[in-house]
Amino acid sequence: MGRKVKRQVNLPFRWTLARKKIVWAYIFLAIPIVFFAYIRIYPTFFAFQMSLHDYNPLSVEQPYVGLENYEKVFEELSKKKSVTKSAFRNTISYVVFGVPIQLCLALAIAMMLNEIRVMSTLYRILFFLPFVTSTIAIAWVFRMLYQPRFGLFNVILQLVSLPQQPFLRSPQQALPSVLALVIWQGMGFAVIIFLAGLKQIPRTYYEAAEVDGASRWHTFRFITMPLLNPSIVYLLVLQTISFLRMFAPVVAMTEQGRGGPLDSTTTVV
């Protein structure tokens, strides 16, 4: 008895609606991916390639030196005192102290603004305004405020019978002085993000907690903080990158952009 052989029929390729949607989806996804690769990934590889050469923008020849530049960095870090070592230490200090202080202050301000109903938009604009203002302009204003004799901060200290402070001219006070400016300027952005997160929390959660007799601390700990976790993580990553890249305030606030007395504010950038 013969076996029936199934014949495979090759149907012609057809552009169905589902296939067209898939193709267009990949096209639209490819556009931002290519753009991101061009502005982020390519510069990263180009910077790494530059680090393997004795790069001089004024010279045509860029001799290949391999890992020699990296060896010089580690040699500088191994020294007891060096500008490179101070720059790394200062950069870490900016991140370790700046990010937590800024986020804590921003969260406290956002929670207060969230309770305000009258002129709330005006207060938000006032807090956000420094973030969109030129960093160099703000740095020069703070530089005048920090002046030892006639700066506003020292004038206030004199009025309350406290000794004048050198601020930017002191190796111990220069870094906190610059850090205070950066925290204040970037805090408005964090306040707006926290406010957006607080607005997404349903009021019924707080009402239920109040009925159950929960204190303000327990409400903050078990309702506000867990539901704000996405905003906290987002700001933590973004502000860490921002503090690692800090450069303009240091140059604008210190004498001739040298990084403060004894390189006390110099950064890696």
What residues are paired with 53 via a beta bridge? 64
Question: How many helices (H) and strands (E) are present in the chain, helices listed first?
Answer: 13, 0
- CA separation for the pair 262, 245 (Å, rounded): 21
Look up residue 251 and give its two tokens: 């140059």
Judge whether 111 and 198 are in contact, CB under 8 Å. yes
Cα angle 216-217-223, degrees, rounded to a multiple of 5: 85
- pLDDT tens sequence for the chain (269 residues): 555 555 555 656 677 888 888 889 999 999 999 998 899 889 999 989 999 999 888 888 889 998 999 998 888 888 878 888 888 999 999 999 999 999 999 999 999 999 888 888 899 999 999 999 999 999 999 999 999 888 999 999 999 999 999 999 888 999 999 999 999 999 999 999 999 999 999 999 999 999 988 899 999 999 999 999 999 999 999 999 999 988 888 888 887 666 777 788 888 76
Judge whether 178 and 253 are in contact, CB under 8 Å. yes
Q: What is the pLDDT of residue 117?
A: 82
Residues with Cβ within 8 Å of residue 249, at least 6 apart in sequence: 135, 138, 139, 178, 181, 182
Residues with Cβ within 8 Å of residue 200, at least 6 apart in sequence: 227
Residues with Cβ within 8 Å of residue 136, at least 6 apart in sequence: 248, 252
> In terms of residues, how long is the chain?
269
- CA separation for the pair 84, 18 (Å, rounded): 57
Q: What is the pLDDT of residue 257?
A: 61
Q: What is the pLDDT of residue 40?
A: 86
Judge whether 49 and 62 are in contact, CB under 8 Å. no
**Domain residue spans in the chain?**
17-66, 80-263
Q: What is the pLDDT of residue 3?
A: 59
Domain 80-263: which CATH number of 2.60.40.10, 3.30.450.20, 1.10.3720.10, 1.10.10.10:
1.10.3720.10
Phi, psi (deg, nearest 5) at residue 211: -65, -35
